[in-house]
Amino acid sequence: MKSLPSMFSSLHTSLQGILNARTSTVPFPTLTDALPTSAPDLFSNDYLSIANNGQLRQSFLKRIAHSSHLFGSRGSRMLAGNTSEHIALESRLQQYFGTEAVMLFNSGYDANVSFFGSIPQEGDAVLFDELIHASCHDGLAVSRARKAARPFAHNSVISFEMVLRQVLAGCPQIVARKATLFVVVESLYSMDGDFCPLPDFLRVLDRYVPSGCYHVVVDEAHSTGILGPGGRGFVAELGLQDRVHTVIHTFGKARGLTGAVITTSPIVRRFLIHYARPLIFSTSLPHMNLIALQCSCDIIEGPLGDQLRTRLQELSAHFGGLLLELVKTVPKTAFSLPETANQLIPFSPIFPILTPQPVALATYLEKHGYGATAIAFPAVPRGQERIRVVIHAGNAESDLDNFVALLRHWAMAQHASGWSARL
Protein backbone atom coordinates (compact mmCIF):
# COMPACT_ATOMS: atom_id res chain seq x y z
CA MET A 1 0.00 0.00 0.00
CA LYS A 2 1.41 3.42 -0.94
CA SER A 3 1.43 6.05 1.81
CA LEU A 4 -0.31 9.37 1.22
CA PRO A 5 1.76 12.48 0.49
CA SER A 6 3.08 14.17 3.63
CA MET A 7 1.15 17.41 2.99
CA PHE A 8 -1.81 15.56 4.51
CA SER A 9 -0.16 15.23 7.90
CA SER A 10 -1.25 18.64 9.23
CA LEU A 11 -4.81 17.76 8.26
CA HIS A 12 -4.52 14.38 9.98
CA THR A 13 -3.10 15.96 13.13
CA SER A 14 -5.97 18.38 13.33
CA LEU A 15 -8.60 15.69 12.58
CA GLN A 16 -7.03 13.34 15.13
CA GLY A 17 -7.25 15.99 17.85
CA ILE A 18 -10.95 16.54 17.17
CA LEU A 19 -11.60 12.78 17.04
CA ASN A 20 -9.79 12.22 20.34
CA ALA A 21 -12.03 14.76 22.05
CA ARG A 22 -15.16 13.31 20.47
CA THR A 23 -14.51 9.63 21.11
CA SER A 24 -13.71 10.29 24.77
CA THR A 25 -17.42 11.14 25.26
CA VAL A 26 -19.21 9.38 22.40
CA PRO A 27 -18.66 5.70 21.57
CA PHE A 28 -18.48 5.54 17.77
CA PRO A 29 -18.34 2.32 15.76
CA THR A 30 -15.52 1.75 13.29
CA LEU A 31 -18.00 0.19 10.83
CA THR A 32 -15.63 -2.67 10.11
CA ASP A 33 -17.69 -5.38 11.88
CA ALA A 34 -21.19 -6.35 10.75
CA LEU A 35 -23.80 -7.43 13.26
CA PRO A 36 -24.11 -11.23 13.34
CA THR A 37 -26.85 -12.11 10.86
CA SER A 38 -28.22 -14.75 13.23
CA ALA A 39 -29.24 -12.08 15.76
CA PRO A 40 -33.03 -11.81 16.02
CA ASP A 41 -33.81 -8.39 14.59
CA LEU A 42 -34.87 -6.20 17.49
CA PHE A 43 -33.07 -3.09 16.35
CA SER A 44 -33.41 -2.33 12.63
CA ASN A 45 -35.96 -0.02 10.97
CA ASP A 46 -37.32 -2.91 8.88
CA TYR A 47 -40.57 -2.85 10.89
CA LEU A 48 -42.48 -5.25 8.63
CA SER A 49 -39.47 -7.56 8.14
CA ILE A 50 -39.93 -6.95 4.45
CA ALA A 51 -36.29 -6.40 3.44
CA ASN A 52 -35.74 -10.18 3.38
CA ASN A 53 -39.30 -11.17 2.56
CA GLY A 54 -39.51 -14.18 0.21
CA GLN A 55 -42.53 -12.84 -1.71
CA LEU A 56 -40.77 -9.53 -2.34
CA ARG A 57 -37.71 -11.40 -3.55
CA GLN A 58 -39.73 -13.61 -5.91
CA SER A 59 -41.76 -10.79 -7.43
CA PHE A 60 -38.62 -8.65 -7.85
CA LEU A 61 -36.73 -11.45 -9.62
CA LYS A 62 -39.70 -12.10 -11.91
CA ARG A 63 -40.05 -8.43 -12.77
CA ILE A 64 -36.40 -7.71 -13.44
CA ALA A 65 -36.23 -10.65 -15.84
CA HIS A 66 -38.58 -8.74 -18.17
CA SER A 67 -37.33 -5.24 -17.56
CA SER A 68 -35.59 -3.42 -20.39
CA HIS A 69 -33.82 -1.14 -17.91
CA LEU A 70 -32.16 -2.53 -14.84
CA PHE A 71 -29.23 -0.54 -13.55
CA GLY A 72 -28.41 3.17 -13.32
CA SER A 73 -30.78 5.91 -14.46
CA ARG A 74 -27.80 7.62 -16.20
CA GLY A 75 -28.39 11.10 -14.84
CA SER A 76 -30.36 13.52 -12.73
CA ARG A 77 -34.12 13.84 -13.29
CA MET A 78 -33.27 17.08 -15.13
CA LEU A 79 -31.22 15.12 -17.69
CA ALA A 80 -31.32 11.50 -18.86
CA GLY A 81 -32.47 10.27 -15.44
CA ASN A 82 -36.15 11.16 -15.84
CA THR A 83 -37.34 7.83 -17.21
CA SER A 84 -40.80 6.37 -17.72
CA GLU A 85 -40.15 4.14 -14.65
CA HIS A 86 -39.65 7.17 -12.39
CA ILE A 87 -42.82 8.74 -13.76
CA ALA A 88 -44.78 5.47 -13.40
CA LEU A 89 -43.81 5.10 -9.74
CA GLU A 90 -44.70 8.71 -9.02
CA SER A 91 -48.04 8.32 -10.70
CA ARG A 92 -48.76 5.13 -8.71
CA LEU A 93 -47.82 6.83 -5.41
CA GLN A 94 -49.89 9.90 -6.26
CA GLN A 95 -52.97 7.74 -6.77
CA TYR A 96 -52.28 5.62 -3.71
CA PHE A 97 -51.86 8.60 -1.40
CA GLY A 98 -54.74 10.44 -3.12
CA THR A 99 -52.72 13.64 -3.32
CA GLU A 100 -52.46 16.40 -5.91
CA ALA A 101 -48.71 16.01 -6.44
CA VAL A 102 -45.76 13.87 -5.43
CA MET A 103 -42.00 14.10 -5.91
CA LEU A 104 -39.56 11.19 -5.66
CA PHE A 105 -36.19 11.60 -3.92
CA ASN A 106 -33.15 9.39 -3.58
CA SER A 107 -33.54 9.26 0.20
CA GLY A 108 -35.51 10.72 3.08
CA TYR A 109 -32.43 12.78 3.82
CA ASP A 110 -32.51 14.30 0.34
CA ALA A 111 -36.27 14.90 0.58
CA ASN A 112 -35.98 16.88 3.82
CA VAL A 113 -32.90 18.82 2.74
CA SER A 114 -34.67 19.62 -0.54
CA PHE A 115 -37.94 20.72 1.02
CA PHE A 116 -36.57 22.78 3.90
CA GLY A 117 -33.66 24.10 1.88
CA SER A 118 -35.88 25.52 -0.84
CA ILE A 119 -39.55 26.00 0.15
CA PRO A 120 -39.63 28.35 3.21
CA GLN A 121 -38.92 31.87 1.94
CA GLU A 122 -37.46 35.08 3.37
CA GLY A 123 -40.03 36.47 5.83
CA ASP A 124 -41.54 33.05 6.59
CA ALA A 125 -41.11 31.42 10.00
CA VAL A 126 -40.59 27.79 10.98
CA LEU A 127 -41.79 26.16 14.19
CA PHE A 128 -40.31 22.70 14.75
CA ASP A 129 -40.36 19.96 17.37
CA GLU A 130 -36.98 19.89 19.11
CA LEU A 131 -36.57 16.21 18.16
CA ILE A 132 -37.05 16.45 14.38
CA HIS A 133 -34.54 14.55 12.30
CA ALA A 134 -31.07 15.87 11.43
CA SER A 135 -32.05 16.03 7.75
CA CYS A 136 -34.72 18.69 8.51
CA HIS A 137 -32.10 20.68 10.41
CA ASP A 138 -29.66 20.38 7.52
CA GLY A 139 -32.30 21.71 5.13
CA LEU A 140 -33.25 24.53 7.51
CA ALA A 141 -29.57 25.46 7.88
CA VAL A 142 -29.51 26.56 4.24
CA SER A 143 -33.07 27.89 4.16
CA ARG A 144 -33.93 31.53 3.48
CA ALA A 145 -36.05 31.35 6.63
CA ARG A 146 -33.24 29.91 8.79
CA LYS A 147 -33.10 32.93 11.10
CA ALA A 148 -36.81 32.57 11.85
CA ALA A 149 -36.76 28.88 12.80
CA ARG A 150 -37.75 28.15 16.44
CA PRO A 151 -37.99 24.83 18.33
CA PHE A 152 -40.74 23.88 20.76
CA ALA A 153 -40.42 21.25 23.50
CA HIS A 154 -40.91 17.75 22.20
CA ASN A 155 -44.60 16.89 21.71
CA SER A 156 -45.64 19.61 24.18
CA VAL A 157 -48.85 21.38 23.18
CA ILE A 158 -48.19 24.01 25.87
CA SER A 159 -44.72 24.78 24.52
CA PHE A 160 -46.07 24.72 20.95
CA GLU A 161 -48.66 27.37 21.79
CA MET A 162 -46.16 29.50 23.72
CA VAL A 163 -43.50 29.50 20.98
CA LEU A 164 -46.18 29.98 18.31
CA ARG A 165 -47.38 33.16 20.01
CA GLN A 166 -43.81 34.46 20.26
CA VAL A 167 -43.16 33.69 16.60
CA LEU A 168 -46.38 35.40 15.50
CA ALA A 169 -45.55 38.47 17.60
CA GLY A 170 -42.14 38.65 15.89
CA CYS A 171 -43.54 38.02 12.38
CA PRO A 172 -46.75 40.10 12.05
CA GLN A 173 -46.62 39.52 8.30
CA ILE A 174 -47.93 35.96 8.90
CA VAL A 175 -51.22 37.06 10.45
CA ALA A 176 -51.34 39.81 7.81
CA ARG A 177 -51.39 36.96 5.25
CA LYS A 178 -48.14 38.05 3.60
CA ALA A 179 -45.94 35.22 4.87
CA THR A 180 -46.22 31.60 5.95
CA LEU A 181 -45.65 29.75 9.18
CA PHE A 182 -44.19 26.27 8.63
CA VAL A 183 -44.85 23.68 11.34
CA VAL A 184 -42.55 20.66 11.27
CA VAL A 185 -43.15 17.43 13.18
CA GLU A 186 -42.52 13.73 12.86
CA SER A 187 -45.40 11.29 13.14
CA LEU A 188 -43.59 8.67 15.25
CA TYR A 189 -40.32 9.65 16.93
CA SER A 190 -37.63 7.06 16.59
CA MET A 191 -35.76 7.59 19.86
CA ASP A 192 -38.78 7.83 22.17
CA GLY A 193 -41.28 5.78 20.17
CA ASP A 194 -44.03 8.33 20.83
CA PHE A 195 -46.53 9.88 18.44
CA CYS A 196 -47.00 13.55 17.64
CA PRO A 197 -50.23 15.04 19.12
CA LEU A 198 -51.06 16.35 15.66
CA PRO A 199 -54.81 17.05 16.18
CA ASP A 200 -53.94 19.19 19.25
CA PHE A 201 -51.34 21.16 17.29
CA LEU A 202 -53.84 21.78 14.51
CA ARG A 203 -56.42 23.05 17.01
CA VAL A 204 -53.86 25.54 18.39
CA LEU A 205 -52.91 26.64 14.87
CA ASP A 206 -56.56 27.24 14.00
CA ARG A 207 -56.90 29.47 17.05
CA TYR A 208 -53.98 31.75 16.18
CA VAL A 209 -53.15 31.57 12.47
CA PRO A 210 -55.49 32.38 9.59
CA SER A 211 -56.04 29.39 7.34
CA GLY A 212 -53.85 29.58 4.27
CA CYS A 213 -51.04 31.19 6.29
CA TYR A 214 -49.54 28.03 7.73
CA HIS A 215 -48.03 24.94 6.15
CA VAL A 216 -47.87 21.72 8.17
CA VAL A 217 -45.11 19.24 7.31
CA VAL A 218 -45.13 15.70 8.75
CA ASP A 219 -42.14 13.39 8.38
CA GLU A 220 -43.62 9.87 8.28
CA ALA A 221 -40.28 8.04 8.08
CA HIS A 222 -41.18 5.74 10.98
CA SER A 223 -44.90 5.31 10.33
CA THR A 224 -45.25 4.91 6.58
CA GLY A 225 -46.20 1.35 5.72
CA ILE A 226 -47.08 0.38 9.30
CA LEU A 227 -50.04 2.65 10.02
CA GLY A 228 -53.16 3.81 8.22
CA PRO A 229 -55.32 2.08 5.63
CA GLY A 230 -53.07 0.16 3.23
CA GLY A 231 -50.02 1.47 5.12
CA ARG A 232 -50.64 5.07 4.05
CA GLY A 233 -49.31 6.31 7.36
CA PHE A 234 -50.16 8.26 10.50
CA VAL A 235 -51.83 11.25 8.82
CA ALA A 236 -54.14 8.90 6.92
CA GLU A 237 -54.77 6.87 10.09
CA LEU A 238 -56.02 10.09 11.73
CA GLY A 239 -57.95 11.13 8.60
CA LEU A 240 -56.06 14.43 8.50
CA GLN A 241 -54.93 14.37 4.86
CA ASP A 242 -56.81 17.58 4.12
CA ARG A 243 -55.16 19.41 7.05
CA VAL A 244 -51.52 18.48 6.38
CA HIS A 245 -49.83 20.19 3.46
CA THR A 246 -46.67 18.16 2.92
CA VAL A 247 -45.81 14.62 4.03
CA ILE A 248 -42.47 12.85 3.69
CA HIS A 249 -42.65 9.06 3.26
CA THR A 250 -39.28 7.31 3.24
CA PHE A 251 -38.63 3.90 1.70
CA GLY A 252 -35.68 2.82 3.86
CA LYS A 253 -37.68 1.56 6.84
CA ALA A 254 -41.01 -0.32 6.64
CA ARG A 255 -40.80 -0.25 2.83
CA GLY A 256 -37.54 -2.21 2.90
CA LEU A 257 -35.59 -0.25 0.27
CA THR A 258 -34.22 3.24 -0.17
CA GLY A 259 -35.62 6.52 -1.46
CA ALA A 260 -38.52 8.76 -0.47
CA VAL A 261 -41.58 10.52 -1.79
CA ILE A 262 -43.02 13.87 -0.78
CA THR A 263 -46.79 14.32 -1.11
CA THR A 264 -47.58 17.99 -1.60
CA SER A 265 -49.21 20.60 -3.84
CA PRO A 266 -48.43 21.02 -7.56
CA ILE A 267 -46.82 24.45 -6.97
CA VAL A 268 -44.49 23.10 -4.27
CA ARG A 269 -43.57 20.27 -6.64
CA ARG A 270 -42.76 22.74 -9.42
CA PHE A 271 -40.69 24.81 -7.04
CA LEU A 272 -38.73 21.73 -5.95
CA ILE A 273 -37.94 20.94 -9.59
CA HIS A 274 -36.46 24.42 -9.97
CA TYR A 275 -34.68 24.79 -6.63
CA ALA A 276 -34.14 21.47 -4.80
CA ARG A 277 -30.41 20.94 -5.16
CA PRO A 278 -30.30 17.23 -4.12
CA LEU A 279 -32.90 16.56 -6.83
CA ILE A 280 -31.22 18.65 -9.51
CA PHE A 281 -27.59 17.76 -8.88
CA SER A 282 -27.69 14.02 -8.18
CA THR A 283 -28.27 10.90 -10.27
CA SER A 284 -31.87 9.72 -9.81
CA LEU A 285 -32.88 6.35 -8.31
CA PRO A 286 -31.60 3.34 -10.30
CA HIS A 287 -34.11 1.15 -12.13
CA MET A 288 -33.57 -1.90 -9.94
CA ASN A 289 -34.62 0.19 -6.94
CA LEU A 290 -37.68 1.47 -8.79
CA ILE A 291 -38.67 -2.06 -9.75
CA ALA A 292 -38.15 -3.27 -6.18
CA LEU A 293 -40.21 -0.30 -4.93
CA GLN A 294 -43.11 -1.30 -7.21
CA CYS A 295 -42.92 -4.82 -5.72
CA SER A 296 -42.68 -3.44 -2.18
CA CYS A 297 -45.75 -1.24 -2.84
CA ASP A 298 -47.66 -4.34 -4.06
CA ILE A 299 -47.00 -5.98 -0.68
CA ILE A 300 -47.58 -2.93 1.52
CA GLU A 301 -50.88 -2.09 -0.20
CA GLY A 302 -52.17 -5.67 -0.38
CA PRO A 303 -53.41 -8.39 1.99
CA LEU A 304 -49.89 -9.39 3.03
CA GLY A 305 -49.27 -5.79 4.12
CA ASP A 306 -52.41 -5.96 6.28
CA GLN A 307 -51.25 -9.25 7.82
CA LEU A 308 -47.79 -7.88 8.57
CA ARG A 309 -49.22 -4.70 10.14
CA THR A 310 -51.57 -6.75 12.33
CA ARG A 311 -48.74 -9.05 13.37
CA LEU A 312 -46.55 -6.05 14.20
CA GLN A 313 -49.26 -4.60 16.43
CA GLU A 314 -49.84 -7.94 18.17
CA LEU A 315 -46.14 -8.44 18.87
CA SER A 316 -45.70 -4.82 19.99
CA ALA A 317 -48.61 -5.22 22.42
CA HIS A 318 -47.15 -8.52 23.67
CA PHE A 319 -43.69 -7.03 24.19
CA GLY A 320 -45.08 -3.85 25.76
CA GLY A 321 -47.09 -5.93 28.24
CA LEU A 322 -44.00 -7.97 29.18
CA LEU A 323 -41.93 -4.83 29.67
CA LEU A 324 -44.51 -3.18 31.91
CA GLU A 325 -44.63 -6.31 34.08
CA LEU A 326 -40.84 -6.49 34.14
CA VAL A 327 -40.23 -2.96 35.39
CA LYS A 328 -42.57 -3.63 38.31
CA THR A 329 -40.35 -6.48 39.50
CA VAL A 330 -36.75 -5.33 38.92
CA PRO A 331 -34.82 -2.63 40.81
CA LYS A 332 -35.60 0.83 39.41
CA THR A 333 -31.88 1.60 39.29
CA ALA A 334 -31.37 -1.01 36.53
CA PHE A 335 -33.78 0.45 34.02
CA SER A 336 -37.09 2.15 33.55
CA LEU A 337 -39.52 3.07 30.80
CA PRO A 338 -40.22 6.66 29.77
CA GLU A 339 -43.31 8.37 31.19
CA THR A 340 -45.04 7.89 27.85
CA ALA A 341 -44.68 4.09 28.16
CA ASN A 342 -48.37 3.37 28.67
CA GLN A 343 -49.19 5.26 25.50
CA LEU A 344 -46.76 3.09 23.57
CA ILE A 345 -48.96 0.09 23.92
CA PRO A 346 -50.08 -1.40 21.62
CA PHE A 347 -49.47 1.06 18.79
CA SER A 348 -45.77 1.85 18.67
CA PRO A 349 -43.18 -0.77 17.73
CA ILE A 350 -40.37 1.33 19.28
CA PHE A 351 -39.51 0.80 22.95
CA PRO A 352 -36.85 2.89 24.65
CA ILE A 353 -35.45 1.18 27.76
CA LEU A 354 -33.80 3.83 29.90
CA THR A 355 -30.72 2.69 31.78
CA PRO A 356 -27.73 4.46 33.32
CA GLN A 357 -25.57 1.69 31.83
CA PRO A 358 -26.56 1.41 28.16
CA VAL A 359 -23.16 0.16 26.98
CA ALA A 360 -22.97 -2.59 29.63
CA LEU A 361 -26.52 -3.71 28.83
CA ALA A 362 -25.91 -3.66 25.07
CA THR A 363 -22.70 -5.67 25.50
CA TYR A 364 -24.55 -8.22 27.66
CA LEU A 365 -27.35 -8.56 25.10
CA GLU A 366 -24.87 -8.91 22.25
CA LYS A 367 -23.12 -11.71 24.10
CA HIS A 368 -26.45 -13.53 24.14
CA GLY A 369 -27.06 -13.10 20.42
CA TYR A 370 -29.14 -9.92 20.41
CA GLY A 371 -27.56 -7.07 18.47
CA ALA A 372 -28.25 -3.98 20.58
CA THR A 373 -27.28 -0.37 20.13
CA ALA A 374 -26.47 1.70 23.18
CA ILE A 375 -27.78 5.24 22.79
CA ALA A 376 -25.78 7.52 25.03
CA PHE A 377 -25.24 11.26 25.50
CA PRO A 378 -25.14 13.41 23.34
CA ALA A 379 -27.52 11.47 21.04
CA VAL A 380 -29.99 11.75 23.95
CA PRO A 381 -29.88 14.11 26.97
CA ARG A 382 -27.91 13.00 30.05
CA GLY A 383 -30.06 10.82 32.29
CA GLN A 384 -31.99 9.58 29.24
CA GLU A 385 -29.38 7.04 28.07
CA ARG A 386 -31.03 3.95 26.74
CA ILE A 387 -31.13 0.95 24.55
CA ARG A 388 -33.82 1.13 21.93
CA VAL A 389 -35.77 -1.99 21.04
CA VAL A 390 -37.73 -2.21 17.81
CA ILE A 391 -40.32 -4.91 17.26
CA HIS A 392 -40.72 -6.43 13.78
CA ALA A 393 -43.52 -8.35 12.12
CA GLY A 394 -41.08 -11.24 11.56
CA ASN A 395 -40.00 -11.60 15.20
CA ALA A 396 -40.88 -14.84 16.96
CA GLU A 397 -42.81 -14.41 20.21
CA SER A 398 -40.23 -16.69 21.86
CA ASP A 399 -37.43 -14.27 20.90
CA LEU A 400 -39.27 -11.46 22.65
CA ASP A 401 -39.86 -13.65 25.71
CA ASN A 402 -36.17 -14.65 25.81
CA PHE A 403 -35.11 -11.05 25.41
CA VAL A 404 -37.23 -9.93 28.38
CA ALA A 405 -35.86 -12.85 30.44
CA LEU A 406 -32.33 -11.62 29.66
CA LEU A 407 -33.27 -8.08 30.69
CA ARG A 408 -34.55 -9.45 34.00
CA HIS A 409 -31.42 -11.50 34.52
CA TRP A 410 -29.17 -8.52 33.80
CA ALA A 411 -31.11 -6.25 36.14
CA MET A 412 -30.95 -8.79 38.97
CA ALA A 413 -27.23 -9.39 38.40
CA GLN A 414 -26.60 -5.63 38.50
CA HIS A 415 -28.55 -5.38 41.71
CA ALA A 416 -26.66 -8.31 43.29
CA SER A 417 -23.24 -6.96 42.24
CA GLY A 418 -24.22 -3.54 43.60
CA TRP A 419 -25.02 -5.17 46.93
CA SER A 420 -21.84 -7.24 47.08
CA ALA A 421 -19.77 -4.15 46.19
CA ARG A 422 -21.32 -2.31 49.11
CA LEU A 423 -20.78 -5.19 51.62
Ligand X SMILES: Cc1ncc(COP(=O)(O)O)c(C=O)c1O
Q: Which residues bind ligand X (CB under 6 A)?
A: 107-109, 112, 133, 135, 186, 190, 219, 221-222, 250, 252, 260
Residue 317 — φ and ψ, nearest 5°? -65, -40
Measured CA to CA in angstroms, residue 245 lies from 249, 254, 267, 314 at distances of 13, 23, 12, 32
State in angstroms the smallest separation of the CB of 201 from ligand X.
17
The CA-based diameter of the chain, rounded to the nearest angstrom, is 74
State in angstroms the smallest separation of the CB of 191 from ligand X.
9
Distance between CA atoms of 349 and 188, rounded to whole angstroms? 10
Nearer of residues 173 and 340 to ligand X, judged by Cβ: 340
Per DSSP, the residues of 306-362 read HHHHHHHHHHHHHHHHHHHHHHHHS-TTT-B--TTHHHHTTT-SEEEEE-S-HHHHH
Nearer of residues 117 and 174 to ligand X, judged by Cβ: 117
Distance between CA atoms of 200 and 4, rounded to whole angstroms? 57
State in angstroms the smallest separation of the CB of 249 from ligand X.
10
State in angstroms the smallest separation of the CB of 292 from ligand X.
14
Nearer of residues 260 and 411 to ligand X, judged by Cβ: 260
Nearer of residues 253 and 318 to ligand X, judged by Cβ: 253
Distance between CA atoms of 30 and 87, rounded to whole angstroms? 39
State in angstroms the smallest separation of the CB of 179 from ligand X.
26
CB-based burial label for 37 (10 Å; 0-12, 13-18, 19+): exposed
Report the residue closest to ligand X, judged by CB. Answer: 108
State in angstroms the smallest separation of the CB of 44 from ligand X.
11
Distance between CA atoms of 407 and 415, rounded to whole angstroms? 12
Nearer of residues 191 and 204 to ligand X, judged by Cβ: 191
Q: Which of 262, 288, 287 is nearest to 276 (CA)?
A: 262
Nearer of residues 105 and 403 to ligand X, judged by Cβ: 105
Distance between CA atoms of 299 and 53, rounded to whole angstroms? 10
Nearer of residues 259 and 305 to ligand X, judged by Cβ: 259
State in angstroms the smallest separation of the CB of 233 from ligand X.
12
